[in-house]
Amino acid sequence: MQYDILLIGGNGFVGRVLAAQLQAAGYSVLVPTSHLAAGRELRVLPRVYLEDANIHEFDELQSLCERIKPSGAVINLVGVLHDKPAKPYGEVFKAAHVELPKNIITAMQMHGLKRYLHMSALGADSNGPSMYQRSKGDGEAAVKSSNLDWTIFRPSVIFGAQDQFINLFTKLTKLFPVMPLANHQAQFQPVSVNDVATAFVKSLTMPQTIHQSYDLVGPAVYTMKEIVEFAARKAKTSCAIIPVPAFIGHLQALAFEYLPIPTLMSRDNIASMHLPNVLPPNGKDALVEVFMMSRRSLEGMQ
C-alpha cells in the first residue's frame, strides 16, 4: 500500500493531533515509531497506520519513503529538548535536528518525493545562545539548501492537553507551595497545538507556502512568571512564586541534569531563554496573515 503522508515524529504530542487532523482531511498517514505500545490513540484513527521502524537507520527511512505516493508529502516533527553540553551542540541534538533532516532529504530525493514540511522552532539560529537553537538552525539550513518543495514552521512554546510545558508547571505547583523561579521575566508567546497542526494541514493545499518559513505564535505574550501563575490557576492551587537570581536558576538546572529522573530543566533551556520567544519585531503573524486562522488562547485550556 502507498500512503499520502509519511509523518515522522507522529507518535508525539504534536504528532498525535496532526495525525488526527490529516486523516480527518482524507489523507492516509504512515507513522513510523519504535514505541508501538505508545500509539494507542493513533490506532483508532481509520486512515493512520503505525509501522515499527527506527527513523535514524537510513535503510529504514529509505524504505518508508518508498511507500509514499509521488504526489504525497513527508512531515518531520522530530525534536528533543535536552543534550549534554558540547560545542556547537551535543550528539543527541545533532542526530535529531541536523542529521535526521539531511537523511530525510536524501531518502526523498532517491524516491522522487518533493513536498516536505519541517518542524523547527522560534528562535532557531545557527549562531544562537543555546545548543538547541543552534542545532535547529543548522537543520533549517539543510532544508533550505535542498531542492525539495519545503515549508518550515517555527512555533513558540506549544500548549495543549498533553503538552510537557504548562502541564509540568501544573504538576509542580501542586507539589510545592513555594516555587523559586529564575528567569521569571523570560517571554513566550504560546501557541495552540491545534493551530499548529491546522497550519501544517492547510499548507499541503497551498502551493504559495512552498519555500517559505513561518513563525507560529499565539495571540498573547506571557512572562515565565505569568505562565507559572496560569498553571497554578489551572491546578486550582496556591503557589507562592519567588523570583530568584539567574545564578540560582543555573544551579537548579545543573542539579536537574544529574538527578536520576527525566530532566525537567537544563542549563541549555535557560540559555534559550536569553532571547524572547515571541514574534520578532515586524515579523509576519503567519497563522492570521497566511493561514487566515483565529488563534486559540492559553486561557482556553482552563
Residue 71 located in a structural domain: yes
CATH number at residue 213: 3.40.50.720
Question: What pLDDT is recorded for position 5?
Answer: 98
Question: What pLDDT is recorded for position 301?
Answer: 67
State the average pLDDT over residues 70-75.
98
Give the integer Cα–Cα distance in Å for 58 and 150. 20
Residue 154 located in a structural domain: yes
- Give residue 167's pLDDT band: very low, low, confident or very high (50, 70, 90): confident
Domain range for 93 is 3-159+190-217+278-296
pLDDT of 261 above 70: no
Q: pLDDT of 274-294, one tens digit each?
A: 899 999 998 999 999 999 999
Question: What pLDDT is recorded for position 302?
Answer: 52
pLDDT of 269 above 60: yes
Query: Residue 227 in contact with residue 164, Cβ under 8 Å?
Result: no
Residue 95 located in a structural domain: yes
Residue 194 located in a structural domain: yes
- Give residue 251's pLDDT band: very low, low, confident or very high (50, 70, 90): confident
Residue 149 located in a structural domain: yes
Q: pLDDT of 196-234, one tens digit each?
A: 999 999 999 999 999 999 999 999 999 999 999 998 888
Residue 241 located in a structural domain: no
Residue 117 located in a structural domain: yes
State the average pLDDT over residues 259-278.
84
pTM (predicted TM-score): 0.93
pLDDT of 48 above 90: yes
Q: pLDDT of 117-130, one tens digit each?
A: 999 999 999 999 99
CB atoms within 10 A of CB 265: 19
Q: Which of 159-163, 165-169, 190-194, 233-237 has the highest mean pLDDT?
A: 190-194
Comparing 18-22, 101-105, 270-274, 289-293, the range with the smallest average pLDDT is 270-274
pLDDT of 138 above 80: yes
Higher pLDDT, 240 or 288: 288
Residue 255 located in a structural domain: no
Q: What total of structural domains would you count in the chain? A: 1
State the average pLDDT over residues 163-170.
85
- Give residue 252's pLDDT band: very low, low, confident or very high (50, 70, 90): confident
- Give residue 116's pLDDT band: very low, low, confident or very high (50, 70, 90): very high
Higher pLDDT, 34 or 118: 118
pLDDT of 56 above 90: yes
